[in-house]
Amino acid sequence: MSDTTAAATKWTLDPTHSEVQFKIKHLVISTVTGSFNTFAGTLESNSDDDFDNAKVEFSLDVDSINTNQEQRDAHLRGEDFFDSAKFPHIKFESTSFVKTSGNEYKVTGNLTVKDVTKPVTLEAEYGGSAVDFYGNHKAGFEVIGKINRKEFGLTWGAVTEAGAIVVGEDVKLLFNVQFAKQA
């Protein structure tokens, strides 16, 4: 008896052609943009160009946070926020990856920040695939979403003398990621 189930296509995140950014309100009047510079991920799909029902796992190194201001980055790595000494990684594992139309997908999964795991839903746009100069088959996605930081234990807050909130609660996420197909 032969197995008619097709083998899954495995992909690995290419960190040199990917970026992970976040945006959060500061003093409610402007937005601070930051990034994480060290991350890894895998994707498993049923084919080379259809990602419906794909599975994705993603992890980023909290110590790689970068908001272009070292004092702020040190504060974010510390106990008031991420506490990277105890919780060095932020992790995401998909529970569903559903095509909504054309190249658009809805990705739902469990996000773990510190010791809190909660379901989140992200929007993913498949940018297409191509073969690079070295013969590697690549697939690209832009992933966006929004989370409330306080729901993940990032509860530090302060108010200025004038009553302005120093850090907003909603965090916008923007990932531009490229995956390389594995042989």
User: What secondary structure does DSSP assign to 114-179, as a single string?
Assistant: TTEEEEEEEEEEEEEEEE-TTS-EEEEEEEEEEEEGGGGT-----B-TT--BSEEEEEEEEEEEEE
Answer for the pair 65, 73: CB distance below 8 angstroms, yes or no. yes
How many C-alpha atoms does 114 have within 13 Å on its Cβ side? 16
How many C-alpha atoms does 7 have within 13 Å on its Cβ side? 5
Q: What is the DSSP letter of 15?
A: G
- The domains of the chain, with CATH numbers, are 9-181 (2.40.128.110)
Compute the distance between CA of residue 124 and CA of residue 109 in angstroms, rounded to an integer. 13
Give me the average pLDDT of each 10-residue run along the chain (183 residues).
65 96 73 92 88 96 95 91 95 97 96 96 95 91 93 65 56 95 90
Q: What is the DSSP letter of 47?
A: S
44-71 core/surface letters (b: 16 or more CB in 10 A; e: else): bbeeeeebeebbbebbbebbebbbeeee
For residue 86 the two structure tokens come to: 């105890």
